[in-house]
Amino acid sequence: MKRKILPVLLAMILMVVIAAGAVGVWLYDKYSYGTEVMELQEYYGVDDGHLAVFLQEKKMKGQAVLKDGICYLDVDFVKEYLNDTFYVDEAEEELLYTDALGTIRTQFGTETYYLYGDEKQFEGTTCFRQEDKLYVALPYAAMFSEFDYQVYDYRVQLTTEWESCQAAHILKDTKVRYRGGIKSEILCEAPAGETMRILERMETWCKVMTDDCVIGYVENKLLGEEFAMTPEKETDTDGYTAPEYTTSRMDEKVCLGWHAIGAVGGNVTLEKVVAGAPGMNVIGPTWFSLNDNEGGFRNYSDSSYVERAHSYGLEVWGVWDDFNYENETGEHIDDTLILSTSESRNRLVQGILNTASDLNLDGVNLDFENLGDDCGEAYGQFLRELSVECRKQGLRLSVDNYMPNEGNRQYRMEVQGQVADYVILMGYDEHWHGSQNPGSVASIGFVSEGIEKALKYVSADKLINALPFYTIVWKIEGEAVADEYLTLENQADFLSKNNLTPVWDEKTCQNYAEWSSGAQTGKVWLEDLESIRVKLNVMSTNNLTGVAVWRLDYGTPEVWTLVSAFKNL
């Protein structure tokens, strides 16, 4: 009997041992740490000779190029995320960077750059064309920019923000894994004491960034106590220090009147318009208008006008526009064509400077109103280059603008706020002549919103708001809409002749009149002492540095007295 039981017993023991072994293997497989290592090239998803690009903790689209030990980034990426001041001149095959003192230039595919004309050597190629992209050396871009970078195997880490973050030390040697789990692939080793930046803490695992910018996961239990850490900028940019922009401003608030001059003969009206504008300290004659696509302009100026204006205590800011010549002749002027090449841009800049010098002007006023959507970069470069030369010549640079909105971002108000002495809002054209859309030329809501938006880009001590000394009379008959201008000077006669008594409209802060004549309905939102006073109060509340008016000879002595008083507030 014992002989029969023994084999059964042994079989049962063997089965238990095998089961225990299987359980042990299962337990080991379940609870032991995985040892598979992930290849970093696979992890970063890069081809040979390329690097993944990380900005802060985010992996960006596209790849950097590694060439001769130097990391290169697509110039479009550089402009979007690191420094939008770089400008590519395709015609001259140059990469430009203009600061407060001048322009730094480098030809594609060279190791030379020119700092304000002085030749300098760069340790490597500054930039090069590859297929349809221009790549810029990261060390070259960093010379002129405020960002940090580190190049590692298969990736480059970029930092543009150095804000405080949470961090912790590793308590003992461990492995950083691809995902939160003990079986996840290993990305790298982390020695005890290494500082980990805490990106996201979960129940048992924590998403971290290592000292060499590998992003992965470690167990919470392996992290010490969290503490606040503020990263420091490390990239060495010796050899270049960004100069500060200086500003030339008047000792008092600006009170500018634009003097509409459509021919040389119009200069004789100076005395008349000055007499009707007490308190004005700057006059802007509309003398110059672009008249070809190579940077030329037509000129209605008169040097004696400047001498006479100076004798009245006025500064003269010559106005350059991009629309009057086209309106007069029908010949199309292409701002993008003019401003996108260094040759025509330089011709325009030098033409402005030479003319201003010959006439003894005090300032330059740009009134470019026809910029296409694709002209923003070229216009920004033009403003930078012109501002440098105006600064050298002691000219005040002012730039006119529509009220800012998404549809006119090409006017680059953020660049103007940096490089111009004054930025002028044309605080009108909420509804305009020929728009077929009756409404106020400048309601208080429109003006207030425009000022608020502009102050996001321009400091109040540079910002001027321009007032309309006119309104529009709208005449509506069925679907047809006709309109005509009505100046402050002649609106009293208009109201009297039409037997109209306007009523104050609290929404627009203007006096409003409406009437019927047969099948026709008339509407007008008036500009007068009351509406101008409200606008000046908003300007004063926002501490704007000046007021401008369109135009001289449209106003009345009473409204000029009110406007000029703003200068003394």
Q: Averaged over 436-443, what is the pLDDT?
A: 97
Residue 495, C-beta contacts closer than 8 angstroms, at least 6 positions apart: 501, 502, 513
Cα–Cα distance measured from residue 62 to residue 77, given in angstroms and rounded to the nearest whole number: 9
Residue 419 CB burial class (10 angstroms; 0-12, 13-18, ≥19): buried
Same domain? For 213 and 270 the reply is no
- 523 inside domain: no
In a domain, 270, yes or no: yes
**Quick one: the chain helix, strand, coil %, rounded to 5?**
30, 30, 35
Whether 135 and 272 map to the same domain: the answer is: no
Q: Are 282 and 400 within one domain?
A: yes
Q: How confident is the model at residue 558 (pLDDT cuts 50, 70, 90)?
A: very high
Residues 159-171 have pLDDT tens digits of: 999 999 999 999 9
Phi-psi region of 275 (alpha: psi -120 to 50; beta: other; left: phi over 0): alpha
Q: The tokens of 16 are what?
A: 């238990």
- pLDDT value at residue 234: 75
Q: Are residues 422 and 358 in the same domain?
A: yes
pLDDT tens column, 305-341: 999 999 999 999 999 999 999 999 999 999 999 999 9
Give the model's confidence band at 21: pLDDT under 50 very low, under 70 low, under 90 confident, else very high.
Answer: low
CB atoms < 10 A from the CB of 470, how many? Answer: 22
Instruction: Report the length, in residues, of the chain.
Output: 569
Q: d(Cα 48, Cα 68) in Å, to the nearest integer? A: 13
- Asked if residue 501 is part of any domain, the answer here is no
pLDDT at residue 25 tops 50: no
Domain match, 385 and 289 both: yes
Residue 204 and residue 285 in one domain: no
* Per-residue pLDDT band at 390 (split at 50, 70, 90): very high
Q: Are residues 265 and 414 in the same domain?
A: yes
pLDDT tens, residue by residue, 362-389: 999 999 999 999 999 999 999 999 999 9
Beta bridge partners of 105: 96, 114
Is the pLDDT score of 26 beyond 60? no
Note the pLDDT of residue 190: 95
* Cβ count near 487 (within 10 Å): 17
Among 157, 180, 198, residue at a domain's last position:
157
Q: What is the pLDDT of residue 10?
A: 65
pLDDT of residue 19: 58
Distance (Å, rounded) from C-alpha 503 to C-alpha 505?
A: 6
Helix axes 529-541, 444-454, angle to 10 degrees: 20
For 395-430, the DSSP string reads -EEEEEEPPP-GGGGGG-HHHHHHH-SEEEEE---S
Tens digit of pLDDT for each residue in 497-526?
Answer: 999 999 999 999 999 999 999 999 999 999
pTM: 0.91
- Render pLDDT for 407-417 as a digit per residue (tens, 0 to 9): 999 999 999 99
Task: Render pLDDT for 177-208 as a digit per residue (tens, 0 to 9).
Answer: 999 999 999 999 999 999 999 999 999 999 99
Residue 525 CB neighbours (<10 A): 26
Cis peptide before 155 (omega within 30 of 0): no
Q: Are residues 101 and 199 in the same domain?
A: no
* pLDDT tens digit sequence for 220-269: 999 999 999 998 887 665 567 889 999 999 999 999 999 999 999 999 99
Average pLDDT of the segment spanning 439-464: 98
**pLDDT average, residue stretch 262-281:** 97
Task: Please give the Cα distance from 408 to 357 (Å, whole number).
Answer: 32
CATH number at residue 352: 3.20.20.80
Residues 330, 388 within the same domain: yes
Domain presence at residue 113: yes
Same domain? For 153 and 167 the reply is no
Domain interval for residue 126: 46-157
Residues 101 and 194 in one domain: no
CA end-to-end span of the chain, whole Å?
A: 120
Q: State the average pLDDT over residues 459-474.
A: 98
Q: Please report how many Cα atoms fall inside a 13 Å half-sphere around the Cα of residue 284, on the Cβ side.
A: 25
Using an 8 Å Cβ cutoff, are 416 and 463 in contact?
Answer: no
Q: Is residue 17 part of a domain?
A: no
Tell me: do 211 and 311 sit in the same domain.
Answer: no
pLDDT at 240: 77
Grade residue 104 by pLDDT with cuts at 50, 70 and 90: very high
Q: Is residue 397 part of a domain?
A: yes
Q: What SS3 state is found at 392?
A: helix
Q: Check: CB of residue 510 under 8 Å from CB of residue 533.
A: no
18 domain-assigned: no
The model's confidence at residue 30, banded by pLDDT at 50, 70 and 90, is low
Mean pLDDT of the chain: 94
End-of-domain residue from the set 157, 178, 211: 157
Q: How many domains does the chain have?
A: 3
